[in-house]
Amino acid sequence: MGALYLMRPDGQTLELVVSYDMPRDYTGTILHLGEGLSGRIAQTGKPLMVDDHLHWDGRAGVYADIQNRRVLGVPLKISDGVIGVINVATIKRSARLTRIKSGC
């Protein structure tokens, strides 16, 4: 599964513009900075990997029907500003996602 969020002009919210291989089309979903995995990444400007997203306390309620286990999200930046977030996820707990090093 995958998702691409872009920062909205208000600079406080993200909009899901690409929803890939999800249970339904979530395109148009809005998250506030700090909300869910993508909102947290946009707020901090740092990548984040969650090994058990299904039971993660920071999960956004709008995605309650998604059975993701491992999720990796990275910010999309221009200079020091976050312009979006891209995520990849798997529903298989045994699947491996490789952690990335900061500054890549």
Which DSSP string do the residues of 66-77 spell out, in sequence order? Answer: ----EEEEEEEE
pLDDT of residue 103: 53
Number of folded domains in the chain?
A: 1
- Rounded Cα distance, 44 and 20, in Å: 24
Mean pLDDT per 10-residue segment, the chain (104 residues)? 95 95 88 96 95 84 80 93 94 58 52
pLDDT of residue 104: 46
Place of tokens 């947290």: 40
The answer to whether position 77 is within a domain reads yes
The answer to whether position 95 is within a domain reads no
Question: Range of 86's domain?
Answer: 2-90
Predicted TM-score of the model (pTM): 0.83
Report residue 36 as tokens.
């869910």
pLDDT of residue 102: 54
